[in-house]
């Protein structure tokens, strides 16, 4: 854990350090997997800190050590600002500090966090959440977004912008976590009656398909088709189709130089506007931003 002690100093804008940083842990050395981290300060180093930053953990399901639980609760009771990076949110949750609050963590672990801590309003789409005293971030890189946000809170936008430039990153990134979540091809239930139909849909994404077209292909009424989809695929036929189209569009934006208009047509959207709207609703960013980020 990092304990950032001392109030921000007035000289932060003239090149002097804005924070005094301590690395604190329950033990003098922490096994971080590929390296060992030395912690010169024990958990008592959190006592007079103004900000405590809790790092991610390799095993979010691991029990929180009692000493860490008590140290975090004592810091919170003291009014200390506490922030977490990535799966560090699980430590705050295990300490009971996030009950009734909105929080985020890495999108891969968001479902686990929500299931383990139903009293927390887990938002898997944002880069970070600021509840005032308690802050959480999505992943390792979004820890930088969160830290820039903290600098802006402490020193203002100008100093935060300088820190962003030194870090060679934008002060604010467009979109949230949704753009980093690979939209999976909607699942095909093995051995179900829908399996041949879903394979046909996957092969015909470019076609202008209506619910009636899909029902005719399945040789059933639209009402029966919707019922079967909800029962076996957990969604509606058109929602399944939209998700498959967006996933294919992501692949084409990542791997080709085709225009957005051409890709929209290739995956079956009737107009570039409809494609852009659906893509942004699903991923949280525009097609151009997605391509710049991932190609």
Q: Which residues are catalytic?
A: 86
Residues 92 and 98 sit within 8 Å (Cβ to Cβ):
yes
Positive or negative torsion for Cα 266, 267, 273, 279: negative
Structure letter (DSSP) for residue 8: P
Q: Dump strand ranges (E) for 217-278.
A: none
Please report which helix (H) or strand (E) contains residue 4, including its range. Answer: strand 2-5
- Give the orientation angle of helix 272-283 with respect to helix 237-255, to 10 degrees: 90
Q: How many helices (H) and strands (E) does the chain have?
A: 12, 10
Instruction: Give CB contacts under 8 A, 24+ apart, made by 272-280.
Output: 275/249, 278/242, 278/245, 278/246, 279/246, 279/249
For residue 207, give both structure tokens: 């076609």
Residues 73 and 97 sit within 8 Å (Cβ to Cβ):
yes
Q: State whether residue 54 is helix, strand or coil.
A: strand
Q: Is 151 exposed, middle or buried (0-12, 13-18, 19+ CB in 10 A)?
A: buried
**How many Å apart are CA 187 and CA 237, to the nearest integer?**
12
Residues 153 and 145 sit within 8 Å (Cβ to Cβ):
no
């Amino acid at each position: 854990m990092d304990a950032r002690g001392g109030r921000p100093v007035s000289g932060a804008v003239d090149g002097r350090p804005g924070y005094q940083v301590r690395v604190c842990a329950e033990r003098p050395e922490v096994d971080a997997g590929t390296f060992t981290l030395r912690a010169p300060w024990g958990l008592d180093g959190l006592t007079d800190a103004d900000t405590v930053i809790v790092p991610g953990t390799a095993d979010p399901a691991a029990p929180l050590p009692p000493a860490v639980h008590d140290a975090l609760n004592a810091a919170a009771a003291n009014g200390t600002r506490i922030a977490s990076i990535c799966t560090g949110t699980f430590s705050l949750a295990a300490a009971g500090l996030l009950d009734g609050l909105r929080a985020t963590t890495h999108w891969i672990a968001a479902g686990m966090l929500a299931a383990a801590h139903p009293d927390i309003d887990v938002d898997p789409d944002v880069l970070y959440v600021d509840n005032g005293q308690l802050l959480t971030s999505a992943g390792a890189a979004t820890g930088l977004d969160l830290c820039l946000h903290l600098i802006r809170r402490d020193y203002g936008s100008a100093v935060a912008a300088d820190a962003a430039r030194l870090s060679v990153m934008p002060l604010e990134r467009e979109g949230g976590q949704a753009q980093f979540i690979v939209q999976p091809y909607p699942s095909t239930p093995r051995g179900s009656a829908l399996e041949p139909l879903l394979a046909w849909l996957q092969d015909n994404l470019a076609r202008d398909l209506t619910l009636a077209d899909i029902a005719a292909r399945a040789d059933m009424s639209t009402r029966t088709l919707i019922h079967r989809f909800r029962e076996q695929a957990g969604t509606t036929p058109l929602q399944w189709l939209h998700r498959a189209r967006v996933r294919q569009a992501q692949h084409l934006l990542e791997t080709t130089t085709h225009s957005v208009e051409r890709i929209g047509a290739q995956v079956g959207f009737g107009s570039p506007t409809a494609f852009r709207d659906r893509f942004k609703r699903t991923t949280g960013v525009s097609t151009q931003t997605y391509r710049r980020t991932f190609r």
